[in-house]
Amino acid sequence: MTIKQIPTQPFSDQRPGTSGLRKKVTRFQQPHYLENFVQSIFDSVGDIQGKTIVVGGDGRYYNQQAIQIIIRMAAANGIGRVMVGRAGLLSTPAASTVIRKYRTHGGIILSASHNPGGPDGDFGIKYNTANGGPAPEKITEAIYQRSREIEHYLILDSIDTPLDQCGSYSVGNMTVEVIDPVADYAELMEELFDFDAIHDLLTGGFALRFDAMHAITGPYAREILENRLGAAAGTVMNGNPLPDFGGHHPDPNLAHAKALVEQLFSEEGPDFGAASDGDGDRNMILGKNFYVTPSDSLALLTANANLVPGYQKGIAGVARSMPTSLAVDRVAERLGIDCYETPTGWKFFGNLMDAGKVTLCGEESFGTGSSHIREKDGLWAVLFWLNILAARKQSVADIVQQHWAEYGRNFYTRHDYEEVDMEEAQGIMEHLEQQFPTLTGRRLGSYRVEQCDNFSYTDPVDGSTSSSQGIRILFEGGSRIVYRLSGTGTVGATLRVYIESYDPDPRNHQQDPQQALEPLIDIAVELGQIDSRTGRTRPSVIT
């Protein structure tokens, strides 16, 4: 087997976004495209000679081919050992678990998460460091800079490695270890949660449905919920991972997990429903006839963490991404712990967790997690909820409504305008910034603008700064409008508008958020001139 040095030329579009490099499958299939990026990773993440890395993905189209290329390139670049999930599968939280447990140098995760898959869908790749978390901006920028000057890459001339059975294989001087993708993760979950109490709940007449959306969590959910926790066979729906996710968006929200939502909102529906995304790091939580917003979920997990064995020692602090609602801030205040506000994307939580400042964190985009790993974790959130339900013996709706009565309700919604022309989207952002000087103090409807800015974050641990992270219009009394452009889309621009208000009065808590927020939604559209600039009269997706 010989090591080949292949001449190549840089591609100009390999800057990682919110969560790695995401492009159409067809872009990744172009000669040298994946190889250039992988070589740029190997050149930018420190000395990898003889080291171990983890590789796995969400099973989407092109996953297996990409893994074979990465294995051959790893061997040619002097890596000592690659740990791969069987069949090339590893959920994002499982990859983070394995990187940490076996103290590896890092890992490569192949996923475009909630983006659709298949030959015409999306593919993605990202690097995680030794703490198990997404590489910080310092490293993603180094990878990007390397990709702009790359002239060749190294690859071993060898046959494919069999990935369908656990075992060890030699590829040149490197070892490939094919591991059970579920075992280490399931073991970690058993350490954190009261499996006996959840088992009693699930075998005592409490009905649960979990929608794996034909994505990675099927095998994890079956093993944990059905095999270990005794949930009825068939609890996990759409449990077989498919390369194109059955043609759907594997995005666990009210729009894309429709079948599950319909079950939970029916007469004979189950008591609890949950779904996860393409790579298993997101979660949606539903009760009977009840939807829990991700922001409320984070607040609730924090308020009830004392009921869960893995968190009974206490919560060091919490963190949320800037657009995530302020519900968790109120819980943190009451608990007397710090609450950090970071830019969007999990890579910003890692430093806070490594420094012991934060135990729980979350995002409005159906992401919650804790310092047990360094990624958000879909099934973990589901188990956390089940543990709370087992301890409190109340319905989801009762628990959430009680929480609102205690803390007040943060009404919240996100309106996404997808596949907008990039220039139009940037025009909206510029137009908003131009209004800053005249906005502060201005009255808009019944709201008065208290402050507006483009969010900038200085990491309290390493002092690094990230600017232009989203436009915030903050109103007196705690209402907010936030505008951001997505960093995970692959076609045009996606404009995200996040709208929030706070109401302490329980008499108003039953309102529909779209109604409660209507005046603010109108202000958001008007301030951004969204309809006239994009020609859209309504958002593509409301969550």
Which residues lie near ligand VG1 (CB under 6 A)? 18-19, 113-114, 277, 281-282, 321, 344-346, 363, 365, 367, 486-488, 496
Q: Name the closest residue to ligand VG1 (Cβ).
A: 113
- Residue 363 touches which of Co ion, ligand VG1, none (CB < 5 to 8 A by kind)? ligand VG1
Q: Name the closest residue to Co ion (Cβ).
A: 113
Using alpha carbons only, give the angle 293, 299, 302 rounded to the nearest 5 degrees: 140
Q: Which is the catalytic residue, given 91, 113, 321, 466?
A: 113
Residue ranges in 251-290 that form contacts with Co ion under rule CB under 5 A:
277, 279, 281-282
Number of helices (H), then strands (E), belonging to the chain: the values are 18, 27
| Closer residue to ligand VG1 (CB): 77 or 486 | 486
| Closer residue to Co ion (CB): 279 or 459 | 279
| Closer residue to ligand VG1 (CB): 304 or 543 | 543
Would you count residue 96 as binding Co ion (CB under 5 A)? no
Provide the token pair at 280.
Answer: 């298993």
CA–CA separation, 82 and 227 (whole Å): 29
Provide the token pair at 322.
Answer: 């800037």
CB of 526 to Co ion, least distance (A): 33
CB of 112 to ligand VG1, least distance (A): 7
Q: Which residues contact 388 (CB under 8 A, 6 or more apart)?
A: 300, 301, 304, 307, 308, 399
| Closer residue to Co ion (CB): 137 or 281 | 281
CB of 375 to ligand VG1, least distance (A): 8
CB of 498 to ligand VG1, least distance (A): 9
DSSP state of 233: T
- Residue 539 touches which of ligand VG1, Co ion, none (CB < 5 to 8 A by kind)? none
- Residue 365 touches which of Co ion, ligand VG1, none (CB < 5 to 8 A by kind)? ligand VG1
Would you count residue 223 as binding Co ion (CB under 5 A)? no
For 155, list phi and psi in degrees, rounded to 5. Answer: -150, 140
CB of 533 to ligand VG1, least distance (A): 20
CB of 344 to ligand VG1, least distance (A): 5
CA neighbor of 132 nearest in space, from 352, 347, 410, 356:
347
Q: Are 20 and 134 in contact (CB under 8 A)?
A: yes
CA–CA separation, 201 and 229 (whole Å): 9
Q: Sign of dihedral through CA atoms 9, 127, 62, 492? A: negative
| Closer residue to ligand VG1 (CB): 291 or 348 | 348
Q: Let me know if 276 is a catalytic residue.
A: no
Q: Are 417 and 534 in contact (CB under 8 A)?
A: yes
The number of residues making up the chain comes to 543
| Closer residue to ligand VG1 (CB): 98 or 444 | 98
Provide the token pair at 536.
Answer: 């859209």
Q: Which residues contact 423 (CB under 8 A, 6 or more apart)?
A: none
- Residue 345 touches which of ligand VG1, Co ion, none (CB < 5 to 8 A by kind)? ligand VG1
CA–CA separation, 211 and 298 (whole Å): 20
Would you count residue 370 as binding Co ion (CB under 5 A)? no
Binding residue for Co ion (CB under 5 A) from 14, 96, 113, 410? 113
Would you count residue 115 as binding Co ion (CB under 5 A)? no
- Residue 375 touches which of Co ion, ligand VG1, none (CB < 5 to 8 A by kind)? none
Cβ neighbourhood burial of 230 (10 Å; 0-12, 13-18, 19+) = middle
For 180, list phi and psi in degrees, rounded to 5. Answer: -65, 120
- Residue 487 touches which of ligand VG1, Co ion, none (CB < 5 to 8 A by kind)? ligand VG1
| Closer residue to ligand VG1 (CB): 147 or 321 | 321
How far is residue 448 from each of residues 10, 294, 529, measured CA to CA in Å? 50, 27, 19
CA–CA separation, 222 and 209 (whole Å): 11
- Residue 416 touches which of ligand VG1, Co ion, none (CB < 5 to 8 A by kind)? none
CB of 376 to ligand VG1, least distance (A): 7
Footprint on this chain of Co ion (rule: CB under 5 A): 113, 277, 279, 281-282
Question: Which sequence positions are flagged as catalytic?
Answer: 113
